[in-house]
Each structure stands twice: as C-alpha cells, then as structure tokens.
Structure 1
Amino acid sequence: MESLRSLFLLLLADLASGVTITSTDQTMVTKAQGEKVTLLCTYALAAADEGSLDIEWVILQPNEEQPVIMYTMDRVYDQYQMTGRVQFVSQNPSSGDASIDILNLKPADTGTYQCKVKKPPGIQTHRVQLTVLEKPTKTRCYIEGSQEIGTDVTLKCKSQEGTPVINYYWTKTTDTRTAAELPATSSQNPDTGVLLMKNASHVHSGTYKCVASNRVGTDECSVILNVTPPVNRGGRIAGAIIGSLLAIVLVALIIFCCFKKRREKKYEKEVHHDIREDVPPPKSRASTARSYIGSNRSSLGSMSPSNMDGYAKTQYNKVPSEDFERTPPQNPNYDPPKYDNAYRMGDITVV
C-alpha cells in the first residue's frame, strides 16, 4: 500500500509544475532534553523543475529566520547556531530526502522549524513545531512535622528541575522493594507531591517512594518513616517553665546590680561636689603683708618718740603670719598725746 502511494505521488509530481513535499504528516514533535529528534522533509521533483536544487532548514523567529543547515550546489553548510549537533539524514539530500537529525537536544531548541526545497521554477515549504522538555531531576523526599503516634504525619516530594507539568505519585515499598498500598488513613495530592497520614500509628512506619513524572521522563526518591511513642510532654512543659523563671530572675538581678551601681556613682559625684563648695579659697600672702605694713605705718604716725623703742626693733622685711591680720584689742581709756611740732626719724615722721 505504501509503495502504491509513493508511486502515485511521483506520478503526481511529474504532472505538476513544481516541487512537492511528501512528509506532511509530521507537524508537532515533543522530545526530552538530551535526546535526538528527526525532522522529516521528503520531497518529489517535477519534470518542469530544471534549475539548481537548494535545500534550506531555518528556525522561524518573530522578525527573522535563523539558518540551521543548508544544501546548495552539491555542498552542505552547517556552521550555524547548532554546529556539531545537526546533520542531514541522507548523505545525498538531492535524492529526495531532506530530513535532518538534531542531537543532544536543549530546551532552547524549542521552536518552529521550516524546510524549504527549491528547484526553479518549483519551490515548496513544510513546518514542524519542536518542543524540548526537561525531565524531572533532583527530586527530594522529606518528612515535615512530628513522627509521634497519634499525630498527623506529612510527607513531601519536590523536583528541583524539570519542565511543568510534573505529577507526583507516592507508594509504600515492602522488604522486597515491591509497591504496596498506602494506609487507609492517607491521602496524596499528585500536583503538590504531599502525602498526608492522619492519626499515625506503628502501622504507618516503613519506606515510602515518590515518582515524579512529566511528558518526557521520570525521577524518584524515597524516605523512611518511623512512628514513635510520644515524649513526656509534662516534663517538657515543667522544664520550659523552670527555664523561663530562671531567665526572669537573672534579668532582674542584672537590672538590680546596674541600678545599684548607678546610684553609687551618683552619690560619689554629689559628695565630691559638696566638699569643693564648702572649702574657702586661700588668701593671697602678698595682700596680707601689704595690709599689715599699712596698718603699722598708720599706728606709728600717731605715736611719740618714747613709745617708739619697741617698734623700732620690728623687722618689716619679714612677712607676718595670718595672725597679724587680726586687730589687737585697744584700751578704751587710752588717749594718745598730741604734738604740734613734728620731726622725721628715719623713715617715720614723729611729732
């Protein structure tokens, strides 16, 4: 049947006036990262096509066409963005097969590819949409929350890499690594990878495996669940209360010591300030001497020669002590004599 179809297409091409693309069934292809894809482009020439044959593969962009590989004048040109990863399936593309292989696919290879076969006056094109997906990788399984008897245990599964949409499926494995049914009280969400088991007991203990999958591949991980009896919550609460009380006492003690030390410093400053204010400033010794000499000179001016004997022996070049600043008591009944005639004796004027 296939041979009859090919013969019919060749006869149709001979009657037509141009090139005909025969591989029109392939329009969309989905592959995984790292795999190889074959983009089909078989064609048939018409008798009227007498020009040189040109084959061109490009990636269609919004405003431009990026070349992938070309065949013209019996030569292949592949030094473009996929250098080393693209090639023609046939060693002789002019034989009617312009299909190409793309190796080691990458997500960036996703796009619309166009095959153009031109042999003047005939020209024909065909487009294929290629989608490159990334398999789920780096999938991690872990337990969230408590693993005590009577609590609700949550198991989670998440792939770090992979093209959405990723689905997650949990199973419980036995000693022979075969899949077993999940406990009756468990429920799982294939979109989020969460497995919830209510009111856990020893029956729930075991190894659980999660399989992450998308359109192009799978990845898996496992985790061991060990449900244990609850711990002594009373002792834990009592310990927490005692620890809190000790912390409060310690904080109060620190505050008291700081307050006491602050008051002691404040008291020392006040006492030191009071002492400095009560002490009078020292008197000048020079002013004391001048007041002493002046007072003695005024006294000597009113004295008679007979009373000068004791004062004449006074040494005025010596600075008297502070005791001389005090005025000696005078006899209220003493009346100094008055003289009309005055004469000078030494540095003292006598009358």
Structure 2
Amino acid sequence: MQSAHEYRKTMASDEHKQLAQYLKDVHSNLRMNAVTLGAKEAWTRHCKNKDTLLTYAEYMEKLATVFWEENYGNEESLATSRIQWSVELCKDYFIKKEYVKFSAKELEISKKLNIQLSNKESFEETLELLDVGSCYNPFRSYNLFNVLAIDLCPANLYVKECDFLNVHIGKETIVQENIVKELKQEAFDIITFCFLLEYIPSSDLRITACENAYKLLKPGGLLIISTPDSKHVGANCKLMKCWQYTLACLGYTRIKYEKLKHMHCIGFRKALCKDVALRWATIHKKPYMDYSIHIPQDFSKIEQNNIIPNIDISPDDFKELPFSDF
C-alpha cells in the first residue's frame, strides 16, 4: 500500500507528464502545420490561438518553477541552471570586461581585411536585457539587469505581450497596455533565447529571430541561446556547428559554448563589423554546413519536400525538452 508521501509523489509525477505532453503536442502541431500551411501562415494562426497560448504559458511556468526545481533535489535545476549560466556569462563579459579582448581581436582581424571599424562598445552599469519567450521573467530578481521580458502570451504582469518575429523595430521602445508595439534598434546589451528556437517551427523563422536580435543589440552586445539536449556533448556537434556558421553569416561571433547535462548554452557577440564574423564563416565552413538553424524534429518534414540536410543526425538525438529524464 502506498504511503501518503508516495501517493503525492506519484500524483505530482503524473501531472508533470501531462503538462509536459501538452507543451510537446503544441510544438509538434505547430511544426506539422508549418509543413502543410507554410511556416509564416502556421505561425500567424498559432499567434491568434489565445486559448492555446494561455494554457501553454500557465503550464510552462508551473513546469519551470515547480517540477523542474523539485525533481532535481540538491542538483541545480534546469530552470536555475539556464538562467545562472546566462548571468555568469554576463558578469564575466560586462563586469569583468572580457569584451575588451574580443574587441581587440576584432580590431586585429579588421586590419587584415583592410576595414575601418566605425563602431565600439558602450555599456552602462545596469545592463539592458531583452528576454524573448520569457514566459514568467526569471531574470527580474537580478539587479544587474533592467529587464524587458516578452512573450506571445505572458504568464504574469512582469512580462509584456509581443510577437518577436513580427515586432516593429524602430527609433524607440513603445509599450501600450502591456503590449509591445515597437522595439528600439541597437538598444539592448543582452538578448536571451531560453528554449525559444525549438518552439519556432522552421529554420527560416529561427533565422528571422536571430536577425531581429542583431538589429536590436548594441555593437558588441550578447545573444545568449540555451537549447535542450540530453545527449552527450558529441552527439549533436555538427548541428551546433551549423548554428555557429549561420550566426556568423548574420554577423555574430561565438564567444562561449558549454554542453550541460540537459542543454547547450551558447553566447554570441554581435561583431563590431559583420565582415569580421563572415570571415570566420568563410574560413571554417565544412561541406555539411549550410545556412540554416535546424533541429532534428524538422528533418522528417524536410524529407517530405526532398530537402535533406547533409547532417548525420536522428530526431531521437535531440530531446525537445528533457522532461522524460526525471
């Protein structure tokens, strides 16, 4: 006979699985609709489905703040580790001024390319952070940041409503009735994509997200990406190299990469001159690299269209979110 403690644990586990399955189903349905309707149309319809978005936000917040925390015991949780990794990178880069060495390296490369750098870093003591796909604004507890947290459907009032793929980028940041109408170009020191890119249903739209981030970042600013993967570090190395190549083509240089137990954590710097990042892409391109940001769940849909990336990888190699590991 189950004890009261065991019963509560079983019930919690069942709820955890139900919440996680709902999120996975939303992701899967969005990708399938992208195949049949086209990614942009599927995304437009998804953004209008307020009931689904509201339920997704509620479930995601509960998973992150309750189940991810509880199921790790004394280990650093998935929710905590992705945030803490980002915070530590920002402290090293901005507070300890590690950006200076990257700036010097870019200057060295620009001289080889016979390019005059017109931009330079300019960061304030309180860093402007745009948290995209934030859900519940986990960065708000850090005094280091002035956070603008955005999501399709906010889980609380600390988050503003915004479709990052279609938001207007202009001369100022405008928020009306908790909805972002416009984001200011080159206004942010940091932009975070925490478990965002695998939500977006196609490579082209993921690239759009990274392009928008580039427009919004200050010169030398950071794009921080965390993406789930429970495999060993070498299992998806080609996939991660493709991401690095594509981001370099957009004007980013990768400054830090770490494979944690359940995810990849990557820091990209907006190069002071896009040609400096493009130089890396040109020199280091391998035959398997293409201009794309794929996740393995894309692949079966891509094969239906006879577009098969030259990457030796299986959809099973890349967990959508590591819920099943608990």
Same structural fold, with TM-score higher than 0.5 when normalized by the shorter chain: no
TM-score (norm 2): 0.18
RCO greater where, 1 or 2, for CA within 8 Å and sep 6 or more?
2
> Which has more helix, going by share of residues?
2
TM-score (norm 1): 0.18
> Which has more strand, going by share of residues?
1
Which protein has the larger Cα radius of gyration, Structure 1 or Structure 2? Answer: 1
